[in-house]
Amino acid sequence: MERFVVTGGTRLIGEVAVPGAKNSVLKLMAASLLAPGRTVLTAVPDILDVTVMADVLTGLGATVSRHREWETPSGGGAAGGRLCIDMPEDAGGAADGDLVRRIRASVAVLGPLVARRGEARVALPGGDAIGSRALDIHVNGLTQLGAVVDVEDGVLVARTDGRLQGASIWLDFPSVGATENLVMAAVLAKGTTVIDNAAREPEIADLCAMLTAMGAQIGGAGSSTLVVDGVDGLSAVEHETVADRIVAGTYAVGALMTGGDVLIRGGRVEHLAIVLEKLVEAGAQVDVRGDGFRVAGSQRPRSIDVVTLPYPGFPTDLLPQVIALEAISSGTSLITENVFDSRFVFCRELHTLGADLRTDGHHVIVRQAARLTGTRVMASDVRAGAALVLAGLVADGVTEVTEVHHIDRGYAHFVEDLRALGADITRVRDRAVA
Ligand code: EPU
């Protein structure tokens, strides 16, 4: 068991390099199943979820080698290591249930496997406890492409006789995971697939860019209508992962909360347009540079209202960090969550630190707290954990954040990078009791 010990009162000052995005690289890894040969991914973040996804692929017959040496491009790209995936002709079979339950993103192997092998067996996935997170949109879409999908003993089984068939699919909600799964299934289907009300997240555009380099025919990448003309086969390629906008946004919020000044190298302002606009409204100074952007805060932030929505709306994955920001901002703010149904679980922990907040359905009202005071709190998911660390940076005394394996799922070198920015934070390993 590991925890982070944070002593509040320091400002974040300096530079930080943004790695490739967790929510992109995991799908790029799944896409490697679509072609035999060597896929090389760069700007790969050194995070737990990549390790688990690599194990999922290994279980499906791939050979995965990881080169963790951190490459930080000078021109503004994302930082990270390199991952080589050697995919044999006959990769496939059943994805390991224990691994799949550890990360929800592993459901992304469903589309590629059914498209390339005609059968996919994937245990019902796990991931963060932030909502009910159904899979009906994935299943409905695959069914429209001609797959028969059943649940057998807790395992989702998708089968097709022969090739999948292109179809017109309208998503009930612009689900990120369903859009990705369906694009990856459609690239090898016979004929044309149109996916309407598709999710538009930059990570999906990144996946489409890699698939296109592999030989896929995809129109409308990054828009809400994707048109995919199926091809007979794809080739493995090398691809650089897009920068992690949520990690970049987390440091931006941290800079404002601590009255700091941070150059976020590799951060893509165009992927954070609403977020940065909101932070400016809250009092941040944001300067765009060729190799990223700089965020500085000089006074107590002002309260802002925030409503989460699918991209290009305000990202749900920055909601906990913004609630932490609101806890120390002057005034009262109304925060509305529209994507997940239990993201506010973490408010209890923030309240333990002294935050003045009240939840009601999918809203939370946050009033300025007299002060936050350090104590022991628990990370319930990756973003909640990051938000508690930010709160610890501005709390009086010492904050201990437990269950940090959640944070390790999505933030590479978090402690080291925060320390380099001046934070007083250490990782402590509890000794096992015999
Ligand atoms: N939903 C359904 N049915 C479905 C699919 C989704 O009802 O078949 C619902 C979900 O229950 C949820 C909403 O739709 O309420 C959004 O789900 P979506 O499918 O868009 O999200 P996801 O693919 O499961 C990814 C990210 C999340 C991020 C969301 C939204 C990965 C691995 N995860 O999840 O990231 O919050 O998109 O942007 O890409 C995180 O990184 O902390 C994280 C949770």
115: pLDDT strictly greater than 50: yes
Reduced to 3 states (helix: H, G, I; strand: E, B; else coil), residue 301 is coil
| E strand residue ranges, 32-175 | 37-44, 63-71, 80-87, 94-95, 119-123, 148-152, 155-159, 168-170
Averaged confidence pLDDT in the chain: 93
Mean pLDDT of 224-228: 98
pLDDT digits (tens, 9 = 90+) for 345-393: 889 999 999 999 999 999 999 999 889 999 999 999 999 999 999 999 9
Q: What is the reported pLDDT for 129? A: 56
As annotated, the active-site residues are 128
- The answer on whether 197 is annotated among ligand-binding residues is no
Peptide bond into 36 cis (omega under 30): no
| Most ligand 1 atoms within 8 A of CB, residue of 175, 184, 362 to mutate | 175
| Least confident piece of the model among 27-36, 64-73, 306-315, 368-377 | 64-73
Instruction: Pick the more confident residue, 284 or 433.
Output: 284
- The answer to pTM > 0.75 is yes
Predicted local confidence at residue 138, as pLDDT? 94
Helix or strand run (H / E) with residue 265 = strand 261-265
CA-140 nearest atom, ligand 1: 8
Determine if ligand 1 sits within 6 Å of the CB of residue 299.
no
Whether the predicted pLDDT of 126 surpasses 70:
no
Sign of dihedral through CA atoms 178, 183, 189, 192? Answer: positive
pLDDT tens figures, 273-300: 999 999 999 999 999 998 999 999 988 9
Q: Which of 146, 102, 94 lies closest to 121, judged by CA?
A: 94
pLDDT of the residue at 130 = 45
What are φ and ψ of residue 273, in 5° steps?
Answer: -55, -50
**101 pLDDT higher than 80:** no
22 is known to lie in a ligand binding site:
yes
Nearest protein CA to atom 4 of ligand 1, as residue: 135
278 assigned ligand-binding residue: no
Q: Would you say 7 and 398 are in contact if contact means Cβ atoms under 8 Å apart?
A: yes
Residue 370 belongs to what H/E stretch? none
**pLDDT tops 70 at residue 83:** yes
- Percent with pLDDT over 70 in the chain: 97
- pLDDT reading at 68 higher than 60: yes
| pLDDT of the residue at 322 | 98
Q: Nearest 5°: phi and psi at 244?
A: -80, 105
Q: What is the mean pLDDT of residues 4-30?
A: 97
Q: Give the pLDDT of residue 152.
A: 85
Measured at the CA of 210, the angle between CA 205 and CA 211, to 5 degrees, comes to 95
Beta bridge partners of 262: 14, 295
What is the 276 CA–ligand 1 centroid distance (Å)? 22
Contact 350 CB / ligand 1 (< 6 Å): no
pLDDT of residue 229: 98
**Domains of the chain, start order:** 2-17+244-429 (3.65.10.10), 22-240 (3.65.10.10)
Distance CA 381, CA 126 (A): 12
Q: Whose CA is nearest to atom 7 of ligand 1?
A: 134
Residue 23 marked ligand-binding: yes
> Which region holds residue 420: left if phi is over 0, alpha if psi is between -120 and 50, else beta?
alpha
Buried b (16+ CB within 10 A) or exposed e, 70-105: bbebeeebbbbbbbbbbbeeebbebbbbebbbbbbb
Query: CA 420 to CA 16: how far, in whole Å?
Result: 8
Q: What is the pLDDT of residue 225?
A: 98
Report the percent of the chain where pLDDT is more than 90: 83
* CA 382/CA 218 separation, integer angstroms: 32
| Cβ(313) – ligand 1 distance below 6 Å | no
Over residues 185-192, mean pLDDT: 98
User: 269: pLDDT confidence band, cut at 50, 70 and 90?
Assistant: very high
Burial degree of 152 (CB within 10 A; 0-12, 13-18, 19+) = exposed
Edge-first strand order for the sheet with 80-87 is 63-71, 80-87, 37-44, 238-240
Q: Answer whether residue 128 shows pLDDT above 80.
A: no
Q: Is 419 in the pocket of ligand 1 (CB under 6 A)?
A: no
